[in-house]
Amino acid sequence: MNRKLTLGSLFDGSGGFPLGGLICGVTPLWASEIETFPVRVTTKRIPEMKHFGDVSKLSGANLPHVDIVTFGSPCQDMSIAGKRAGLCGTRSNLFYEAIRIIKEMRCKTNGKYPRFIVWENVPGAFSSNKGEDFRTVLEEICKIKDKRLSVSKPKSGKWTNSGEIMEMRSPFVGESLMLNTGECPNEERESTLSQILQANVPTKYYLSQKACLGILRRASARGKQLPQMLRIALEQQALTDTMQN
């Protein structure tokens, strides 16, 4: 009988990866999360999963060895909604803690565990620091197995999330890195925003004039050019709110 795969979740949040694992027949053994309420959720929903707290205080050598380590490291510094400090930011640089823990576990088990790692983040990770941050992410992951490996940016200079597969042609890796790991490479394109938007949204969910003007003002102050459709929508909503008041 085949042994069930096991999973450890760093930056666990409210347990999305462990839940997905359970649905797919994977056994979640442990999680790392510091926020009280998400921990209460997973403690109730997945009581058999152990919690180990702050990632910065963990040692991969001492954690129960697992086949899969998942980590949705903090995205705030990579998100287009933030200041975009990238991997140098105080939050998104916690990515390196996950890499450290994985390396420690690999070292302790002579390279046997974890067998797979899954990193989740925002789309802004592709463009953060002009794509250099995502290149660093891929390179750091590859170096877990071989310190000599390096990763170059695409010839176009831009990363894509359209199901592109990056072949790492090295006898030391022997695997493919997929930017989209869904069963269907382009499954995120199977529905469009217009298909799921409500036709008549209650006005209580509308952005106020103050909120719209605030977004426009902050973008201007930062020298950030908003997408044309977003800018027009904000301007129109601010004007509509003024007329209604």
Q: Which of 24, 75, 142, 184 is the catalytic position?
A: 75
Other beta carbons within 10 Å of 106: 20
Other beta carbons within 10 Å of 88: 12
Q: Report how far residue 233's alpha carbon sits from residue 230's, in angstroms, rounded to the nearest whole number.
A: 5
Q: Collapse the DSSP code of 69 into the 3-class scheme (helix H, G, I; strand E, B; otherwise coil) and give the result.
A: strand
Asked if 75 is an active-site residue, the reply is yes
Q: Report how far residue 172's alpha carbon sits from residue 134's, in angstroms, rounded to the nearest whole number.
A: 21
Q: Report how far residue 172's alpha carbon sits from residue 135's, in angstroms, rounded to the nearest whole number.
A: 19
Q: Collapse the DSSP code of 166 into the 3-class scheme (helix H, G, I; strand E, B; otherwise coil) and give the result.
A: strand
Q: Report how far residue 64's alpha carbon sits from residue 114's, in angstroms, rounded to the nearest whole number.
A: 10
Question: Is the distance from CB of 161 to CB of 179 less than 8 angstroms?
Answer: yes
Pick left, alpha or beta for residue 215 (phi over 0 → left; psi -120 to 50 → alpha; otherwise beta): alpha
- 212 bridge partner residues: none
State in Å, rounded, how far the first CA of the chain is from the last one: 69
Half-sphere exposure of 235 (CA within 13 A, CB side): 8
Q: Which residues are catalytic?
A: 75
